[in-house]
A = this chain, B = another copy of it.
């Protein structure tokens, strides 16, 4: 299908993109109060479901390995994560959340979510349901739900 024939999709894509930008700028305002950075928070939330290799974590967070490598090092220094080298394959680093990390996740996440919650809390039931369904659609679209990451997109 030719791109120009997709007016509806294009309109949704445009507004979705713009909405995401402004939503995050709003939520971001509370960050300085939480004592934990947004990127660390996001990574911790992935680790909540169990340890991940550094590469898996980078893929899940959609950043490049060096970015995740640095982030994890900072997290280890901050005591919220631990790096464990794989016994069988010495190249592999497995990242675990520490108890402190999980507590920080609860605390820090609560503050960010709170900002979004303050917006969401005023919605009527119908609008809330709409958001709920939309988020599920986006999660599927991006493969960020439980999706076991079959292979890196690697669009080359």
A-to-B contact residues, CB < 8 Å: 1, 3, 6, 8-27, 29, 38, 42, 45, 61-63, 109, 112-114, 116-117, 119-123, 127-128, 130-135, 137-139, 141-142, 144
- How distant is the Cα of A51 from the Cα of B27 in the complex, in angstroms? 27
Q: Which residues of chain B are within 8 angstroms of A127 by Cβ–Cβ distance?
A: 137
Beta-carbon contact of B21 and A117 below 8 Å: no
In the complex, besides A6-B121, A131-B137, 13 extra interface pairs with C-beta distance below 8 angstroms are: A9-B123, A13-B113, A14-B109, A15-B139, A17-B113, A19-B135, A21-B38, A22-B138, A24-B24, A25-B61, A119-B141, A130-B134, A131-B134
Judge whether B128 and A26 touch: CB under 8 Å: no
- What 8 A-B pairs have minimum CB-CB distances, sorted nearest first? A134-B134, A13-B116, A20-B20, A13-B117, A25-B62, A19-B138, A127-B137, A15-B135
Q: Which of B12, B22, B63, B117 contacts A131 (CB 8 A)?
A: B12
Pairwise interchain contact B8-A128, C-beta atoms closer than 8 A: yes
Copies in the complex: 2
CB distance from A29 to the nearest CB of B (A): 8
Question: Contact at B141–A17, with CB atoms within 8 Å?
Answer: no
Q: How far is the CA of A123 from the CA of B137 in the complex (A)?
A: 9
- Is the pair B19, A120 in contact by a Cβ cutoff of 8 Å? no
- Shortest Cβ gap from A144 to chain B (Å): 5
- Nearest-neighbour CB distance to chain B for A22, whole angstroms, equals 5
A17-B133 contact, Cβ under 8 Å, with A9-B120, A121-B9, A141-B123 = no
